[in-house]
Amino acid sequence: MPPAAALHSRPAEPRGAHKKPAMRILLHICCGPCAIVPIRALRADGHDVDAAFLNPNIHPYQEYERRLEAAREVVDAFDVPLPFVDEYGLTAFLRAVVRSEDERCSICYALRLDRTAEVVAAGGYDAFTTTMFVSTQQDHDAIRSAGEAAASRHGVEFLIRDWRDRVMDGVRESKAMGHYRQQYCGCIYSEWDRYRPKGRDAA
């Protein structure tokens, strides 16, 4: 996979009111709206937060661009740097899940969180976590397992959080801010699940 593109230079001092952050955390962002609650929660705990948009599972390309744009809008609104963005990853994702479509969600979590852990180790962060922990639609046990495995492989720390009780806070705020809100999880399989006519299965 190509190296993550550096979009912003990191300031010399931590941002905002947290002059001595508890940890320097890289937040994996699946989409802009889901990032709102985690950013607020991590900063409330005193952490210094950077963001990463590493999502080969978002298809097609125009959808990827819309979600990336929404993610940039949110991190800009909260003054959170977004120094890591990978290129559109359709080919890599399909190669990973082909003939294992029933396990695609677990594979997807592993792909994204392993890539994030790789960046964390190279960037000297203290830990990483993911905005997927705010979703009521995702498999939190599978996310936890994938994150812990990725952290172990790369010798970093994975923060396990559960923000589901605040999911509607993020929904309301993202709507008020006018951010794009996607209608399916991300991959072309989930798009088919969302929009296929009733009674029709994929070939």
Angle at 184 between CA 190 and CA 36, to 5 degrees: 135
Both tokens of 34, joined, read 């889901």
Mean pLDDT, to the nearest integer, of 25-44?
Answer: 97
Domain ranges of the chain: 24-195
Quick: pLDDT tens for 37-85: 999 999 999 999 999 999 999 999 999 999 999 999 999 999 999 999 9
Whole-angstrom CA distances from 191 to 58, 68, 194, 195 are 10, 17, 5, 6
Q: Count Cα atoms within 13 angstroms, Cβ side, for 97.
A: 23
CATH-assigned architecture of domain 24-195: 3-Layer(aba) Sandwich (3.40)
Q: Which band of pLDDT confidence, cut at 50, 70 and 90, is reported for residue 190?
A: confident
Nearest CA-CA partner of 38 in 26, 55, 56, 23? 26
Question: Closest Cα partner for 46 from 76, 25, 72, 74?
Answer: 25
Whole-prediction pTM: 0.86
Q: What is the tens place of the pLDDT at every residue in 126-172?
A: 999 999 999 999 999 999 999 999 999 999 999 999 999 999 999 99
